[in-house]
């Protein structure tokens, strides 16, 4: 069994340290109040047993809480008082060097929390380590100076989660929709160099990847680009190639028919499209931005964005090439084709591609094949999105963060160039447990926690106010989000709903189970779950009216925080069956991963919650290997089109570099810890295997903490 130290490193569990600590406290009290050595050993053994039952590595603080509880259970209150005093004294000493200690553990690569904090970051790499070190300083400044103490305490206790505190000191925002159309057509500036309108499709792709890298280095969330913004440059290349072919023929004295020339032009054009798409895929995968990971970029594929029929056909050529290259994958260090994490792909289902007789149905078939093998693309239903977004269809920012419709001064809807200010998540399970099942008390505590979230979100908003456009020229001056003047603040972009700010939520499933005794899929409990969603929406509506800021509720994609929340709940309320007995809590409104439900019922059920999650949400179904059953994938895709705005299929895509096994890498429990293991050769070296799993709406490939790993292990199939 292991234990997690305060600096995040993981070491072997030593019962003798517990015995020594209790003994010291025991010796500090009057002899008549002391415990016997037998009692001390029993306390230590009880703590060990409790830790083993957790099914994960406990933290030092958790173990010390257990010791306190056991000492008091034995009636040794004076010893307990001495033990608590000792803990408090040591805590005061540690407060002066906690940040130093954490930074040193990062440098020495012993910080287990950092290793598993982000499934797409490798903390051993210098750029990642540098980002984490800066993040520790930012978190320290944030907790000591920038946030009110009650918000810091609520964050530490897992009552709320103040996302991305490691970037808060730097006045950075979360996600955005890059206005690639403006930047390509009207030019941009990258590191002081003017980039003019490209004269070919391949050049446009190259510029796009440079923009992606620059944007990723100036914010901390996801970004989305649309292939429709690249489509006009296909015609630019076509015209250039046509001119070249005619010149070549004239020089060679060769006469060709228009049809012969057209075929040559289209053949060369497809080759250029292939190279351009390859540039995007390989540069995104191989780029390391300043935060030590590949840019978190989403590529949007929507035929409906084309401005005319020829542009739609050209856009279809690009989409086809993107899907074919993603289906193939990228080569790992062994030269084997594997699944990359990025770019994330979103494919829009629409009348032109959803039915077999539709002109672009072949793209949907190709998308289904790609999903079955590489987990992407995800799917947006144009029909359902238009119902919910005032007749509009547009991409999410990153993995799910969604904008509300907004019109400019000319009454035109605008989506590209907009962004999200940040997220604060409420732990709904904690609200329920704090109410002790009393419904009146539940709503009262809910109000208090929502007020806490509101004040935390306003801290985010106020932190961004006054930010000069000079802080990130690519974002604020050169078109990605705006074209402000040098020295101008971004303040006007923070109001009126132009940008959003998100009230995240997590654990609706466990919250409802505790309050009603039933799953939120139970018809008797579903109305309560929907009431909770409406209550958060009403709060956001109220805040928006009071502040003129674009509040919205957001189905939080918990990654490492799912584990943190679970540990905090167990610490505060103990282990409660069906509520706190896991190393994770459920993302947003999702059906619990262990619940037996078929794919179609799950999507239909979750659609009603997705409709209410106005700031963003995504649903998924867990499926087995579907590469030989593409028709079943297409059935799910058609169901998505008719029933839910945004959904995806989760499958597995693994490879063992030791023996060449390309089936599912298993998760086994060893010595109280979950370990990824090749079922063919037994390889457990994570550096010698490629594992891709979708955990939060996006794919992770750098492995996960124990809580998230347990959640992945316990997922049931929906087909």
The domain spans of the chain are 1-96
Beta strands in 328-388 (DSSP E): 330-331, 337-338, 344-349, 378-381
Cis? peptide before 343, omega within 30° of 0: yes
Whole-number Å distance between alpha carbons of 709 and 560: 10
Active site residues: 174-175, 397, 399, 401, 420, 554, 559, 697
- Specify the pTM: 0.85
Residue ranges for the chain with pLDDT beneath 50: 115, 119
pLDDT at 150: 96
CA dihedral 452, 148, 476, 284 (to 10 degrees): -80
pLDDT at 714: 95
DSSP 452-490: HHHHHHHHHHHHHTT-BGGGSHHHHTSSSS--PPTT-BS
Q: What is the pLDDT of residues 62-82, one digit of tens each?
A: 898 889 889 988 888 888 888
Whole-number Å distance between alpha carbons of 340 and 329: 7
pLDDT at 671: 83
3-class DSSP string for 517-539: CCCCCCCCCHHHHHHHHHHHHHH
Whole-number Å distance between alpha carbons of 85 and 350: 65
pLDDT at 95: 54
pLDDT at 8: 64
pLDDT at 694: 87
* Nearest CA-CA partner of 631 in 371, 305, 394: 371
Within a 10 A sphere around the Cβ of 403, how many other Cβ atoms?
A: 29
pLDDT at 80: 86
* Nearest CA-CA partner of 640 in 649, 650, 627: 649
pLDDT at 125: 60
The answer for residues whose C-beta is within 8 angstroms of residue 461's C-beta and 6 or more apart is 421, 494, 501, 547, 549
């Amino acid at each position: 069994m292991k234990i997690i130290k305060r600096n995040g490193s993981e070491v072997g569990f030593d019962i003798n340290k517990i015995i020594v600590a209790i003994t010291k406290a025991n010796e500090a009290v009057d002899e008549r109040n002391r415990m016997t050595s037998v009692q001390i050993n029993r306390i230590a053994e009880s703590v060990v047993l409790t830790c083993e039952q957790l099914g994960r590595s406990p933290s030092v603080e958790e173990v010390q809480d257990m010791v306190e509880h056991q000492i008091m259970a034995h009636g040794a209150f004076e010893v307990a008082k001495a033990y608590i005093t000792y803990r408090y004294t040591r805590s005061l000493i540690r407060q002066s060097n906690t940040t130093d200690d954490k930074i040193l553990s990062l440098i020495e690569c012993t910080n287990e929390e950092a290793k598993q904090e982000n499934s797409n970051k490798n903390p051993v790499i210098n750029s990642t380590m540098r980002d984490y070190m800066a993040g520790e300083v930012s978190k320290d400044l944030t907790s000591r100076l920038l946030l009110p103490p009650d918000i810091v305490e609520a964050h530490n206790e897992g009552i709320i989660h103040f996302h991305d505190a490691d970037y808060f000191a730097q006045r950075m925002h979360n996600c955005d929709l890059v206005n690639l159309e403006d930047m390509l057509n009207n030019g941009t500036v990258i590191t002081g160099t003017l980039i003019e309108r490209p004269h070919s499709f391949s050049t446009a792709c190259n510029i796009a990847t440079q923009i992606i890298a620059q944007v990723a280095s100036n914010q901390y969330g996801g970004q989305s680009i649309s292939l429709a913004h690249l489509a006009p440059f296909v015609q630019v290349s076509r015209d250039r190639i046509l001119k070249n072919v005619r010149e070549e023929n004239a020089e060679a004295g060769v006469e060709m028919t228009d049809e012969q020339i057209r075929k040559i032009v289209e053949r060369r054009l497809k080759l250029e499209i292939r190279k351009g798409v390859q540039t995007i895929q390989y540069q995104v995968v191989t780029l390391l931005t300043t935060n030590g990971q590949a840019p978190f970029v989403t590529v949007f594929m929507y035929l409906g964005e084309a401005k005319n029929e020829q542009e739609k056909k050209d856009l279809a050529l690009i989409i086809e090439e993107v899907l074919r290259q993603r289906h193939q994958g990228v080569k790992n260090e062994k030269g084997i084709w594997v699944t990359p994490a990025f770019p994330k792909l979103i494919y829009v289902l629409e009348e032109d591609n959803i039915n077999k007789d539709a002109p672009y149905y072949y793209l949907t078939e190709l998308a289904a094949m790609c999903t079955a093998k590489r987990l992407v693309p995800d799917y947006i239903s144009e029909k359902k999105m238009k119902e919910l977004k005032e007749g509009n269809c547009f991409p999410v920012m990153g993995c799910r963060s969604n904008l509300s419709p907004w019109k400019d001064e000319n009454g035109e809807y605008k989506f590209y160039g907009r962004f999200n200010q940040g997220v604060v998540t409420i732990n709904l399970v904690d609200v329920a447990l704090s109410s002790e099942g009393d419904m009146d008390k539940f709503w009262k505590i809910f109000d208090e926690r929502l007020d806490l979230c509101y004040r935390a979100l306003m801290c985010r908003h106020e932190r961004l106010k006054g930010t000069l456009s000079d802080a990130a020229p690519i974002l604020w001056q050169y078109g990605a989000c705006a074209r402000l003047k040098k020295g101008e603040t971004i303040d006007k972009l923070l109001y009126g709903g132009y940008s959003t700010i998100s009230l995240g939520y997590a654990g609706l499933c466990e919250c409802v189970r505790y309050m009603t005794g039933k799953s939120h899929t139970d018809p008797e409990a579903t109305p309560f779950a929907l009431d909770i969603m409406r209550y958060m929406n009403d709060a956001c509506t109220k805040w928006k009216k009071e502040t003129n800021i674009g509040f919205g509720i957001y189905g939080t994609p918990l990654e490492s925080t799912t584990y943190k929340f679970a540990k905090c709940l167990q610490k505060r309320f103990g282990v409660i069956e069906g509520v706190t007995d896991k190393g994770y809590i459920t993302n947003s409104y999702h059906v619990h991963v262990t619940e037996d439900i078929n794919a179609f019922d799950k999507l239909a059920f979750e659609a009603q919650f997705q409709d209410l999650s106005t700031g963003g949400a995504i649903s998924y179904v867990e499926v087995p290997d579907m590469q030989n059953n593409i028709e079943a994938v297409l059935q799910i895709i058609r169901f998505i089109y008719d029933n839910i705005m945004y959904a995806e299929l989760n499958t597995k895509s693994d490879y063992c570099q030791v023996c060449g096994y390309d089936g599912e890498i298993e998760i086994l429990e060893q010595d109280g810890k979950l370990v990824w293991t090749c079922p063919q050769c037994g390889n457990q070296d994570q550096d010698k295997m490629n594992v891709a799993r979708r955990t939060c709406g996006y794919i992770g490939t750098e492995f996960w903490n124990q809580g998230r790993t347990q959640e992945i292990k316990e997922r049931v199939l929906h087909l």
